[in-house]
Homo-oligomer: A and B are copies of this chain.
Amino acid sequence: MPVTTTRPNPSAQPPFDLAGFLATRTETVNRALDRLLPPPTAKPTTIHRAMRYSLFARGKRMRPALCLAAAAACGGKEPDAMPLACAVECIHTYSLIHDDLPAMDNDDYRRGKLTNHKVFGEGVAVLAGDALLTQAFEIAAGCKSWPRYPHQQIILELARASGSLQLIAGQVADLEGEGKKLSAAELKYIHERKTSALLCCSVRLGGMSANCSPAQLKALTDFGYHVGLAFQVIDDILDVTQTSEKLGKTAGKDTKAQKATYPSIVGLERSRTIAAQLTGRAFKALKVFRGNAAALEALAEYLLKRDR
């Protein structure tokens, strides 16, 4: 289905090899995560196997890719951004493990595999999530810092985006919204927190690792916010239009859990338009980079047009 976006002037830019970018970055991020986490043989092996089971499942590594792309747009060095890219992926994975628990979304499949608690049991799954959340801060503390962005600020950024007013607020509101008729504004409140907060944090941290200017940080914030919202609208759409096999997680679960989604509130076509508009606003935010944000632009377009 064609979607019209307002990508600035695609023809004037050299084609960006997104597939190549994603393949190489997934590889380097996986290598870094493997190096930064305790080995699977570390005692107690159960917890380290459980952490790695979910972390090295078929994740799309979108948050690390966005973090690295943001660093590149600001002229940063990739190794400086890598610990932060890995930290956000640890946070993301922990939130999925806990979200899949029977007491929450009660899901059996994730990233094409059985969910963590299905393999290791609920107790270990709770602890594996806890361990990945804790690991994220240990890893983030190992990043390069600049006078403008000291470790203190990096840690605050990560903690706030993941905390009870952002990521966790979104999970709680999502849980509480089940079976209720939500307004579009209430749904947006959930999406901003459940998805946008960590995506926005990913690009902001990438920028910080590159000692970005305040104007660049503002642009990244704007970009991350809109890409994050678009991401979740597309997620809602895919939940009703794709198969579980394709998604690697249970499709149709929003409807089953009586969760409000963009398609259920405004319909499928209007949802697609909204996602395209949000992506258009994300593109607009990138103007300040004067053509040096090709990876970010390509990622935003990919996230809009993805089918899984």
Contact = CB atoms under 8 A, between A and B. Distances in A.
Interface of A: 38, 42-44, 46-48, 51, 94, 98, 101, 103-104, 121-127, 129-131, 133-135, 137-138, 140-142, 145, 150-152, 155-156, 158-160, 162-165, 168-169, 171-173, 175-176
Contacts of A127: 98, 168, 171-172, 175
Given A44-B173, A173-B44, A163 B141 contact: no
Sort A-B residue pairs by CB-CB distance and give the 3 closest, nearest first.
A103-B122, A138-B159, A131-B164
B141 A159 contact: yes
B103 A126 contact: yes
B130 A103 contact: no
27 contacts: A42-B165, A44-B172, A44-B173, A46-B176, A47-B168, A47-B172, A48-B164, A98-B130, A101-B122, A103-B122, A104-B126, A124-B175, A126-B126, A130-B133, A131-B163, A131-B164, A133-B133, A133-B134, A134-B159, A134-B164, A134-B168, A135-B159, A137-B155, A137-B158, A138-B163, A141-B156, A155-B155
A29 B31 CA distance: 42
B151 A155 contact: yes
Contacts of A173: 43-44
Given A46-B176, A131-B164, A134-B168, 13 more contacts: A46-B172, A47-B169, A98-B127, A104-B123, A104-B126, A123-B175, A124-B172, A129-B130, A137-B137, A138-B159, A140-B155, A141-B151, A141-B152
Nearest to A190: B44
Contacts of A48: 164
A46 B168 CA distance: 11
